[in-house]
Amino acid sequence: MKIIEGGVCAPKGFLANGVHCGIRKNKTKKDLALIYSEYPASAAAVYTTNKVKGAPLTVTRQNISDGSARAIICNSGNANTCNANGIEIASRTCALIADELNISPSDVVVASTGVIGQPLDIEPIKNSVSSLAGGLNKNGSRDAAEGIMTTDTRLKEIAISFDIGGKECRIGGIAKGSGMIHPNMATMLVFITTDCAISSEMLGRALSSDIASTFNMVSVDGDTSTNDMVCVLANGAAGNDEIVSEGEDFNAFMKALNTLTVDLCRKIAGDGEGASKLLECKVSGALDLENAKIIAKSVICSSLVKTAMFGSDANWGRILCAIGYSGASVDVDTVEVSFESAKGEILVCKNGAGVDFSEDKAKEILLENEIVINIRLGDGNASTTAWGCDLTYEYVRINGDYRT
């Protein structure tokens, strides 16, 4: 298994494009993206748990209820949420691009991201679907990735080559996510393509299993968005025997999928709105996996921990505090905490109490832009990882005038 170039276009039979259609005022920003499979594809998706859901999610869920899709279209700049005609707009978007691609509207995944509660005019989309579809190409992953960005500051894409049954398979993904990100599925928009042959049932099983330890373990600001979706298309162009049950081939696919999703988790958390640091919280020695997850999420979501990391302050007491109120089953007298970065690792707490450490060394470690918070417990053998970011002045500035 190795990292390769190409994003969502790395797998055989996938093309992509992204254009500026006019939803966003800034003409230098792409705001409409398209991913297309030249062959019929299995499809699976997971969606936000927020009770307020964007209209595109309702339409997509209906469209891929048969386990298949050919295209993904996504606009940025407007979430198409809480709009009286939202379903109509999302359905019309599917029909418009389906006409251009000569496929059924029910084979289209539709997504939107941006401001909530603002009417979405279909005209910019209608006027641009021809150029969007006409510009589909094998090098279009970057353009598509740009087309789904909102407050993101960096592109998020990755592709991986892996082997199944002697056949080279590829999997690629693009993502957007910077704010309104909290571990409650899905927490962002992620579009994944693969040329591996796998049934829609097994594709759904793989995705649902994976997100529990990846996308559900990411938090930027504690807010779960209304439009979050992770969608996977698998067109089988690699020529491997179709995966229809668990076994060696399914495990190989799961490993590739997890490698891709963990990379995107790190990219999303590291590009949190206003963030200057990626935070990775590793919990080991927990009673069980559920308690490990509760503790990791509590620490990564703590505003006090996040601000301490912004200030490069080794305030380990805030970590103990977050563990204590998490509700997890834990013996606090066994807790050990250390901070780690490219500059080294320093122990700051052992057996639930502070230890002597160099504040200067701790500062040096915490000044790096990727920080690992290691939490070692004495309750069992379970471990997990959560991802987040620091909380900065810039986060407040971005969200203080996000709509206006």
* Domain span(s) for CATH 3.60.70.12 in the chain: 2-270
User: 107: which DSSP letter?
Assistant: G
3-state SS, residue 385:
strand
The answer to whether 43 and 200 are in contact (CB under 8 A) is: yes
Which of these, 293, 299, 316, lies nearest to 383 by C-alpha position? 293
CATH class of 2-270: alpha beta
Q: For residue 60, which of 83, 80, 90, 102 has the smallest C-alpha distance?
A: 90
The CATH superfamily holding the domain 278-400 is: ArgJ beta chain, C-terminal domain (3.10.20.340)
What is the reported pLDDT for 69?
A: 98
Q: What is the pLDDT of residue 186?
A: 41
CA 170/CA 181 separation, integer angstroms: 28
Nearest Cα to 340, choosing from 364, 324, 360? 364
Q: What is the largest CA-CA distance in the chain?
A: 68
User: Known catalytic residues?
Assistant: 187
pLDDT for residue 178: 63
Q: Count CB atoms within 10 A of the CB of residue 331.
A: 13
Local mean pLDDT, 10-residue blocks, the chain (404 residues): 97 98 92 98 89 88 97 95 93 98 98 90 97 98 95 90 97 82 60 98 96 84 67 98 98 98 90 83 97 95 94 97 96 97 98 97 97 98 94 80 63
Structure tokens at 36: 């297309």
The pTM assigned to this predicted structure is 0.86
Residue spans in the chain of domains classed CATH 3.10.20.340: 278-400
